[in-house]
Structure 1
C-alpha cells in the first residue's frame, strides 16, 4: 500500500504518530473485524460465533462491542438480519465514553445524529439512551437515507425519527437538542486499511475542502443545541486541519468549552492537546486496535432553551385504530397515527416531539410502522416484526439455518406441516420477518429490497 507522501509529511509531530509503525500497520494486511451487540435482543450472538470457532474478545471502551478472531460471512448469518448485532468499526464505538462522560444518560435526552448513514452510531445511541429519550437520525444525502432507515428498523426501537435534511434546517429548532453528534464527512484517511481505493481520492486540496465543509455544517447546526448542551464531533481522518484545528475553531468562534475524558492506559488511545488547550482523542491503528478515528466534545454556554409554541399538526387515532391493531401488536405506552393507509406507533411520551419534527423537517420514518390497511384489514409491516411490540398470540415458526437463508433470499419455502396463518419466521428465537402459511403454499413477506442476492454461502 503506497500511502500519500503529503499525508505522511502532514502527520509528523502529531502526538502518537510514528511513521515507520504507521506505514508498517498499513502494509501488514491484518484485518480487524468488530461487532456491537443489540442489548434489546437477548444474547445468542456470542455463542453462535463460538460454535463456529470464532473467538469474541471485548472491546475495552464499550460495553457491547467485540473483536472477532476472523471475519465470517455476515450476509449468510440470520442473526445479523434479525438485528441482534451491528458490524461496526471498533474505534468509533468510543462514542459510548464521550456520551456517558459528558451527560447523564439516565435522564431522558433529545439527541441528534446529524450525519447518520449508514446507522452505526445511531444504533449505538439507541442502546445507550434511557427510556423516554428521543433520537433524531438525519442523513443529508437522499440516496443514503434508505440504508439508514433499514438499520434503524432492524435495531427495533420506536423512539427514533429518521430525517433527510440539510444542517441549516435544524436552526428552526433553536435550543432543542441536549446532544448533537456530528460525525462529519471527511477526507477518509483513517479508513485506508479498509478501503485502499480511497487513497487515490485523497489530496491536500480535499482536506482543505473537507475542513471548510465541516465548519459550515457545524455553524449551521449549532443553533439547535440548547444552552448547556453537548456537541460531539468526530471524523475518520488523521489530518490536523479536520481534527484539532476544528476543535480550536469551535472554541474560538462559539461559546463552547472543551470536555476532557478519562481514558485507560491500556486502551492505547492518544489524547491530543491543541495549541489552545483543547483535548481530542486520536486512534492510531499502530497503537489502538481499530481504524483511524478522532473525537472531541464541547459544552455550549450561551444558547437558547427551546419553548414549544406550536400546535399539534397531527392527532392520534388510537381509539379508532386499536381494534385493527389488537390482533397484531401490543403498543402499550404508544399513540397510533394513520398516514394515508399506513399505521404508525409513536411513543406517547414523545408524541409532541414527533409532531414538532413533522412540522419542521423532512421525515422519512418515525416510531414503528405497524402495517398498512387493505380491505379494512391490517397487513403487518417488517418493522413490526423487528420491534418488541408483536402480540403474544402471534404464531412463530422456528427455521433451521438453510430454511432461514432461503427465507432471507425470498425463495419458496416448503410447508412441512406448519400451522396455517400469519406468523413470524424466527431463527434462534429471533424474528426474521413475516410469512403467511396457506394450505398449498407459503407467502414470503420478507422485504424485496432487503433480500440476500447471493445464492452461495461463503464460509
Structure 2
C-alpha cells in the first residue's frame, strides 16, 4: 500500500500513524498526485481524497465558512480534475478508483466523477448502500453522500468507478528523478533473520525491509515520487551495532520471543509511555534490549543496563499529560482478535 500526502508536515504524521498499525508492506510518499502518472498501471485500487472547498467541515471549522466562494469551488474542481487524470494513468485495467471529498456541491463531486466517465472512460460501479446506513444516494448509483445529522462525523462524498479491461498504459518509468537507491545497511539481513517472522519474505533495500514480492515496485516507486518511508525500518546504527527501532516493536512481523520481554502493571506502563526510566527491572532479565509489555502487547523497546532500564520510547510520541490528568482506574485493553 502506498499512502501519499502533498504536505510534508502531514506526511510525517501519516507515516507515524501507519507505523503504529504495524503493517510492513506500506510506503509513505510526499508530493503532488501528478507525479504518480509516472507509474503507469501500477495500482489495483486508488483512493483519492481530493482537496476541496470543505463544505462538509463548516460545522466545526469557521475558516471553511470564511474562505468559501464560487471562485473557490471552480478552482477546486479544476484541481480535482487534474488530480484524477494523473492518478488514472497509475490505475491498472480492471482496477477500482474511489473518489471522495469533504464537500457537497455537484461541481466538485458528481461533475468530477462524470468527467472521469466521459473523458477517461471510467465505468461507474454501483455502491452497496446497505453498507452505509444513513448515507444518501447521489446522482447515480455509484455516488453517495454522508451528511452531518444523518451519520456520525462530518460531511463526505464518495464515488466508485472502474477502469475498463484492456486499457494498459506503456510501462515507462521516470528518468527525471533519481532512483533513491541506497546501499544495504551492514548486517541488516542477519538482524532480520533473528528478529523478523518469515524473514525470507523480505529483502533489504537501504535501511529498510520490503516484501520480496514488491521489491521491483518499491524501486520504481522511489524513481517516480519522493518516498518518506518504504517498508519496515527495523533497526538503526548505534555506534558499530544495530539497535531495534520503535517501528519494529509495533510491527506485525516482529518474531515472537526474539527479544526478552517484561510485563508492566498499569502505573509502570504509563510511566514508560511518558518516557520515564524503569527502575524496577525484573529479576532474571538479561542485559540489553527488551520489549515492555502491557497485557502482552509490545509498547516499544527499553534497554536493561543492570540496575535500571533506559527508556527508548520515541520522544515525539510520549504522553505529555501529568499523572493527575490520566485515567486513575485501569482501562480494559482492546485487543484486535
TM-score, scaled to structure 1: 0.63
Aligned residue pairs, count: 319
Cα distance, 1:163 vs structure 2? 0.9
> Do residues 414 (structure 1) and 279 (structure 2) align?
yes
Aligned in 2, Cα 1:319/1:369: closer, same or farther, shift over 3 Å? closer
- The structure 2 residue matched to 1:393, chosen from 229, 233, 258, is 258
Match of 1:163 among 19, 22, 29: 29
Q: Alignment partner for residue 300 of structure 2, among 433, 451, 454?
A: 433
* Post-superposition offset of 1:440: 3.0
Residues 345 and 368 in structure 1, CA contact (< 8 A), matched pair in contact too = yes
Q: CA deviation at 1:345?
A: 1.5
Q: 1:266 to 1:237 in 2, by over 3 A?
A: closer
Measured at CA, do residues 299 and 382 of structure 1 come closer, stay the same or move farther in structure 2, by a change above 3 Å? Answer: same
Report matched runs for 1:236-251 at 5 Å.
Answer: 236-251=102-117
Name the CA shift for 1:427/1:359 in 2 (closer, same or farther; >3 Å). Answer: same
Alignment of 1:218 onto 2:84? yes
Runs (5+) with no aligned partner, structure 2: 328-337
Distance in 1 between residues matched to 2:182 and 2:71, nearest whole Å: 51
| Aligned position for 2:163 | 300
Quick one: distance in 2 between partners of 1:381 and 1:306? 39
| Counterpart residue number, 1:253 | 119
Q: Is the 8 A contact 2:127 2:143 kept in 1?
A: no
Could you tell me which runs of 5 or more consecutive residues in structure 1 were left unpaired when the two chains were aligned. 1-134
How far, CA to CA, are the matches of 2:123 and 2:309 in structure 1?
59
Provide the residue aligned with 2:335 in structure 1.
none
Q: CA shift at 1:296, angstroms?
A: 0.3
Match of 1:195 among 56, 61, 84: 61
> 1: CA distance between counterparts of 2:149 and 2:315?
42
| Correspondent of 1:365 among 224, 229, 237 | 229
Computed over aligned residues only, the root mean square deviation of the Cα atoms, in angstroms, reads 2.8
Relative distance call for 1:393 and 1:313 in structure 2 (3 A) is closer
After TM superposition, give the deviation of residue 424 of structure 1 in Å. 0.7
For residues 241 and 131 of structure 2, the distance between their equivalents in structure 1, rounded to whole angstroms, comes to 59
Q: CA deviation at 1:222?
A: 1.8
1:457 is matched with 325
Rounded Cα–Cα distance in structure 1 between residues aligned with 2:162 and 2:9: 32
Residue in structure 1 matched with residue 333 of structure 2 by the alignment: none
Q: CA contact under 8 A between 1:173 and 1:306: conserved in structure 2?
A: no
Contact 1:191 1:292 in 2 (8 A): yes
